[in-house]
Chains A and B, each alone.
Chain A
């Protein structure tokens, strides 16, 4: 079984550039979550979708961040323009139903903004 797939695994970009992170959830899962992990703030939930519809984006830091889920098998998290403080590991997770125990994480995208 393929788990949650994220790409790219690593991204280095310059301040001001647009960054797009991609996620393919586990087939059949109806919830998709985007998290950000930093040393200072730990794991933070940015946004989550249910059946491709954004349910709660209260964790999105600011308007530079946007997320879409055009279909059940694909989601993107975009940062435009990127800033050095956006450097972090971004995880996508998916689950079947909203119960947290079924939440499976991808390997993450390590983003470095110079």
Chain B
């Protein structure tokens, strides 16, 4: 089945630093999604991408749909303490109705 490789698995950064994470797939996806999960809560949708090459921002977050349609990137600028959590990528393949999730990137911020 389809799988997503998300990296890095964890990040330890200083407050104010920029963050980059990515997801890659061996197959083509038509939709890429980025979620954030806070401790004890369910994932919350941050950004949705629908077209190859698309670049979308949500505040300090920017995500891109790779032109090969097999990867996506999420950047967080000027990190703040509330950015701490686990970030998941998810993809929807051609003709699929089920999301495939990456393993998550755990972000820790040192004040």
A residues lining the B interface (CB < 8 Å) = 4, 42-43, 45, 48, 55-56, 91, 93, 98-101, 103-108
**Bound complex: CA of A93 vs CA of B41, how far in Å?**
12
Which residues of B sit under 8 angstroms from A45, Cβ to Cβ?
98-99
Which residues of A sit under 8 angstroms from B102, Cβ to Cβ?
42
Which residues of B sit under 8 angstroms from A107, Cβ to Cβ?
40-42
Which residues of A sit under 8 angstroms from B31, Cβ to Cβ?
99-101
Most buried by B among A4, A103, A104: A103
Q: Indicate if B97 sits at the interface (CB-CB under 8 A).
A: yes
Which residues of A sit under 8 angstroms from B35, Cβ to Cβ?
105
Task: Choose among A4, A43, A98, A105 the residue that contacts B97 (Cβ–Cβ < 8 A).
Answer: A98
A-contacting residues, B88-111, CB 8 Å: 88, 90, 92, 97-99, 101-104
A-contacting residues, B35-82, CB 8 Å: 35, 40-45, 48, 50
Q: Indicate if B33 sits at the interface (CB-CB under 8 A).
A: yes
- How many A-B pairs have beta carbons closer than 8 Å: the answer is 47
Q: Is A42 within 8 A of B97, CB to CB?
A: no
Q: Is A42 within 8 A of B45, CB to CB?
A: no
Closest 3 CB pairs of A and B: A105-B42, A101-B48, A43-B101
CB distance from B75 to the nearest CB of A (A): 19
Which residues of B sit under 8 angstroms from A103, Cβ to Cβ?
45, 99
- In the complex, residue of chain A having the shortest beta-carbon distance to the beta carbon of B44: A105
List 6 A-B residue pairs with CB atoms under 8 Å apart, sorted by A's residue number. Answer: A42-B101, A42-B102, A43-B104, A93-B42, A104-B45, A105-B35
Most buried by B among A101, A105, A106: A101
**Bound complex: CA of A99 vs CA of B104, how far in Å?**
21
- In the complex, residue of chain B having the shortest beta-carbon distance to the beta carbon of A55: B97
CB distance from A10 to the nearest CB of B (A): 10
**Bound complex: CA of A107 vs CA of B44, how far in Å?**
10
A-contacting residues, B6-51, CB 8 Å: 31, 33, 35, 40-45, 48, 50
CB distance from A56 to the nearest CB of B (A): 7
- In the complex, residue of chain A having the shortest beta-carbon distance to the beta carbon of B103: A42
**Bound complex: CA of A3 vs CA of B72, how far in Å?**
28
